[in-house]
Amino acid sequence: MFSQFFGGYLLNHNIVSREQLSRALDEKKNTRMRLGVLAINEGLMTSEQVEHVNVMQQTVDLRFGDLAVQLGYLKEQDVDDLLHKQPTDYLLLGQALVNMGALSNEGFERAINDYKATLKLDDDDISGDQYDALSSMVSEFYHFSTARNARLYTNYVTLLFKSLIRFIGDDFTPLDASICRTAEGACIVRQLINGAYKGQTIISAEPDEYRCFARRFAKEAYFESDEFDDASVSEFLNVINGLYAVNESNETGTEIGLEPLALFRNEDVPLGEEAFSIPVQFTFGEVEFIVAF
């Protein structure tokens, strides 16, 4: 999930464009990791040193690792370690952006270091799937710590992103959140939360994106109809709300319930309270998630 939020960081800081990021997300599956980007990420080489090796490679018939050792930038053991390192998802994204020319080695070095520093994360935090690291990343990205019910928002949105990766795909970028009082979109699904506290959760999208989202969730069970699209998107929302309710019940003993899902087509839905609008850019388009506690 670090990869998705790193993508969001690059976009929000205007380091890459939406089109470049979308292309890189598409291409990262076929991207081969290069030693230079790995070495920068590990802090073993600076971007200048990587550039130097790259330039030297044009005149000398040596592999990157061998040349870096010859120039005194790396030890042989470092090269060995780097070659055996499994590239993480965010590194593949970074490599894809470097390959496309959207990001220089230096730009990648600056962005990755700034982002890690912002989140106060180390490599162990971002290489695994530790819940605490993920939730602090989510909370930091959306500034939930300043919100009322910060714990609820952080837990819900962390679960939402984990569920997107699990059920829809990892080719998305979280965009900046905003506060809204109305849900607007051609296709809207809403589920209210009741019980120990109240809340509302919404998925909103334009018809094409809504259909793509429905198709991704349904997988081979998909068949094309508006009714099935509604059913599929509704079920996604219902499943993650159910998982959220179970987590709440198990972790804090709080019992919450879910109301039947409601569908809206081509109408604005007043929320009756301030809510977080969380747009997410998939490679097929944008889908908005709205959450209020």
Partner 1 sequence: MNIEDIKVMVCDDSMFARKSMVMFITSLGVKQIIEAADGQQAIDKYAENKPDVVFMDIVMPVVTGIDALIKIKETDPAARVIMASSIGTQQYLKSAIKAGAADFLQKPITNDQVKQILENVCKGVI
* Secondary structure (3-state) at 217: helix
218 is a site residue for partner 1 (CB under 8 A): yes
166-182 in b/e burial notation, b at 16+ Cβ within 10 A? Answer: ebbebbbbbbebeebee
248 is a site residue for partner 1 (CB under 8 A): yes
Kindly indicate which of the ranges 73-81, 124-132, 203-211, 234-242 contains the residues binding partner 1, using the contact rule CB under 8 A: 234-242
249 is a site residue for partner 1 (CB under 8 A): yes
Instruction: Sketch the per residue contact string, 10 through 49, with partner 1: x for CB under 8 A, - otherwise.
Output: ----------------------------------------
Tell me, what DSSP letter sits at residue 17? Answer: -
Instruction: Sketch the per residue contact string, 135 through 174, with partner 1: x for CB under 8 A, - otherwise.
Output: --------------------------------x-------
Burial (CB count <10 Å: 0-12, 13-18, 19+), residue 59: exposed
CB of 232 to partner 1, least distance (A): 5
DSSP string, 39-69: HHHHTSS-HHHHHHHHHHHTTS---HHHHHH
Kindly indicate which of the ranges 42-50, 88-96, 145-153, 215-223 contains the residues binding partner 1, using the contact rule CB under 8 A: 215-223
Give the span between the Cα atoms of 145 and 128, in whole angstroms.
23
Could you give phi then psi for residue 93, rounded to 5 degrees?
-65, -45
221 is a site residue for partner 1 (CB under 8 A): yes
The sign of the torsion formed by the CA atoms of 211, 212, 213, 219 equals: positive
204 is a site residue for partner 1 (CB under 8 A): no
Of 258, 281, 249, 291, the C-alpha closest to 154 is 291
Phi/psi zone of residue 15: left (φ > 0), alpha (ψ -120 to 50 degrees), beta?
A: alpha
**Site for partner 1 (CB under 8 A): how many residues?**
28
The binder of partner 1 chosen from 256, 280, 291, 292 (CB under 8 A): 256
CB of 135 to partner 1, least distance (A): 21
Element (H, E) at 178: strand 178-183
The binder of partner 1 chosen from 186, 239, 263, 269 (CB under 8 A): 239
Residues that bind partner 1 (CB under 8 A): 167, 218, 221, 223, 227-228, 231-232, 234-235, 238-239, 241-243, 245-246, 248-250, 253, 255-261
